[in-house]
Structure 1
Amino acid sequence: MAPFLGTFVSGIDRRVRARMQRRVGPPLLQPFYDMFKLLDKRPMMVHGLHVSLGAMHFIALWVSIGIIMFGGHLLYAIFMHLLSSLFLVLAGYSVRSPFSHLGANRELLAIAAYEPVLILMAVGFYLHTGSFEVGVILSSPSALWGMPLMFLALLIILPIKLKKSPFDAPEAHQEVVGGVEVEFSGTFYEVIYMAKMTEIVFVYSLVFLFGGAFLWLGALLVIAAFLLVSGVDNASARIRIDHLVRTVYISAFVLAVLAIGGMRYV
């Protein structure tokens, strides 16, 4: 159900964005209509490897969601997520489109920026609970009070994962026409579209973990993070990819390291 849940959240996001911009906006179920519309379009395949890498991107991301939902090992989920992102980058490099190559280059730089923060976050959960298991994390006291700096670091990288301003340079439609997605079409783009919806669930599930045993707190954190990302997306302009990397390392990475250092000496 993760892709469909992500699609529903995407619909809410589009409604919120429209209200912030004083527009009526699309129907709440518009992302579902888009999904069915893609299935009706004639697929055009560049070559088999390109399509296969796109499918592997979705499957690996789906597996990472499954690991979290079934209370598995958080590091395994993060590594599967990294593998999923690399499949998409390889798909971008496998075609000749300069837009696809440029998007793949930017996506790699974005991965280099946010991935260390995700790994440090997993280490922080281990120091806080004594385990990498998601089930243990959700039965432990809230990590929000134990490592608030780590939560701030996660908030900083959320727009990168969700392709929101000011960190949407890897996908920038005005510059690289969608980046690595540009050569996918029809049913094949449907797979990428569902992967984007699944990504939403993956990102906000990490936010939910900070609630620990207090499930209501996790839900409130997800809602607050969702509104914050939507607000920043509508109130800021895109920054260059080098600024993105510099900003993440100066702010999110430093906060994550300080959080780990503080927990070691508590």
Structure 2
Amino acid sequence: MIWVWIALAPILGGLVYGGERVLRARMQRRQGPPFLQPFYDMFKLLDKRTLIVHAPHALLGVAHFFVLWFTVAAIFLGWNLLYIVFLHLFAQMLLILAGYSVRSAYSHLGANRELLMLIAYEPILILVAVGFYLQSGSFDIAQIVRGGGYLVHMPLLFAALAMIVPIKVKKSPFDVGEAHQEIVGGVEIEYSGLFYEFLYMARFLEYIFIYSFVFIFAGVSYGLGAALVAGVFLLVNLVDNATARVRTMHMVKIIYAVALSLSIVNIMWIVL
């Protein structure tokens, strides 16, 4: 059964993405796209002409998708959480290298911003993994979810994780990686057709990745996990509709000043 969920992970992420677009439209009092619009977009991309800048650029985009899919599979299989964080780091580095591999100034700017986003949220993910280890005695997700009380003992780490969710799903105030008004899609700008579809599906997997961390905070209580995911999902979209995008360096300063500080204080609290 677990392998079915792994195989369907991109589709599950697409459903979450579609639901998010419908929710945002309702918050803005407009009709918006249908629930299945992400899948309609995927079929349209298959009909588009695929242009390749050079082979390594295209292959890096495809590799980014498959490594990210493998990372999500590792979460579903209950593997080591710290290794999963590093696998995700590897997937993001492939995308950043793809951005640097072409001459487009917009692609380079997008890669720079993706790198700064990585610098901002990666320490938080590592500290969250450390917090789970200190509470459960293991980095293995299968062992972590057998426990409980993480919200009681790790509330500041949960708040820090909630702060980086908008970075991962590219929502305001931390939507700096794409910033269509400034860098025309950023690192994705030189992709088209089939190869852009791989990046589009990778976005679906990012939703599964980051919200899985939120779900793990519930431990053995799956009902609480679903409620936490729904609550953070709603909060992220409320903030996205109520705030403007901040500058890239402001994003890093905010995350380091607030989220990283909260994480360190919570780790010290657990240890002491």
TM over 0.5: yes
Kindly provide the CA deviation profile for residues 80-113 of structure 1, in whole angstroms up to 9, marking residues without a partner as x.
Answer: 0000000000000000000000010011111111
Name the SS of the counterpart of 1:25 in structure 2.
Answer: coil
Inter-partner Cα distance in structure 2 for 1:73 and 1:156: 23
Match for residue 219 of structure 1 among 199, 218, 226: 226
For 1:12, the aligned partner's letter is: G
Q: What's the offset of the Cα at 1:60?
A: 1.1
Inter-partner Cα distance in structure 1 for 2:254 and 2:145: 31
1:61 corresponding residue in structure 2: 68
Q: What's the offset of the Cα at 1:40?
A: 1.1
Q: Does 1:95 align with 2:93?
A: no
Inter-partner Cα distance in structure 1 for 2:17 and 2:182: 23
Q: Does 1:36 align with 2:43?
A: yes
Q: What's the offset of the Cα at 1:24?
A: 1.1
Superposed CA RMSD in Å reads 0.6
Q: Does 1:155 align with 2:162?
A: yes
Inter-partner Cα distance in structure 2 for 1:64 and 1:131: 19
Structure 1: 5+ residue runs without aligned partners?
none
Q: Does 1:185 align with 2:179?
A: no
Which of structure 1's runs of 4+ aligned residues deviate more than 3 A? none
Listed as ranges, the matches of 1:128-143 within 5 Å are: 128-143=135-150
Inter-partner Cα distance in structure 1 for 2:69 and 2:37: 22
Kindly provide the CA deviation profile for residues 238-259 of structure 1, in whole angstroms up to 9, marking residues without a partner as x.
Answer: 0000100000000110011011
Name the SS of the counterpart of 1:198 in structure 2.
Answer: helix
Q: What is the aligned length?
A: 265
1:195 corresponding residue in structure 2: 202
1:27 corresponding residue in structure 2: 34
For 1:127, the aligned partner's letter is: L
Inter-partner Cα distance in structure 1 for 2:137 and 2:216: 15
For 2:153, the aligned partner's letter is: G
Q: What's the offset of the Cα at 1:176?
A: 0.6
Inter-partner Cα distance in structure 2 for 1:137 and 1:36: 39
Contact 1:142 1:213 in 2 (8 A): no
Q: What's the offset of the Cα at 1:143?
A: 1.1
Kindly provide the CA deviation profile for residues 173-192 of structure 1, in whole angstroms up to 9, marking residues without a partner as x.
Answer: 11011110000000000000
Structure 2: 5+ residue runs without aligned partners?
1-7
Kindly provide the CA deviation profile for residues 154-177 of structure 1, in whole angstroms up to 9, marking residues without a partner as x.
Answer: 000100000000001111011011
Inter-partner Cα distance in structure 1 for 2:27 and 2:45: 28
Inter-partner Cα distance in structure 2 for 1:167 and 1:141: 31
1:207 corresponding residue in structure 2: 214
Inter-partner Cα distance in structure 1 for 2:250 and 2:242: 18
Q: Does 1:238 align with 2:242?
A: no
Q: What's the offset of the Cα at 1:142?
A: 3.3
For 2:126, the aligned partner's letter is: I
Contact 1:64 1:76 in 2 (8 A): no
1:146 corresponding residue in structure 2: 153
For 2:65, the aligned partner's letter is: F
Listed as ranges, the matches of 1:64-143 within 5 Å are: 64-143=71-150
Inter-partner Cα distance in structure 2 for 1:141 and 1:27: 38
Contact 1:93 1:100 in 2 (8 A): yes
Q: What TM-score results when the alignment is normalised by the length of structure 1?
A: 0.99
Inter-partner Cα distance in structure 2 for 1:77 and 1:58: 15
Q: What's the offset of the Cα at 1:56?
A: 1.1
Q: What's the offset of the Cα at 1:9?
A: 0.5
2:15 corresponding residue in structure 1: 8
Name the SS of the counterpart of 1:60 in structure 2.
Answer: helix
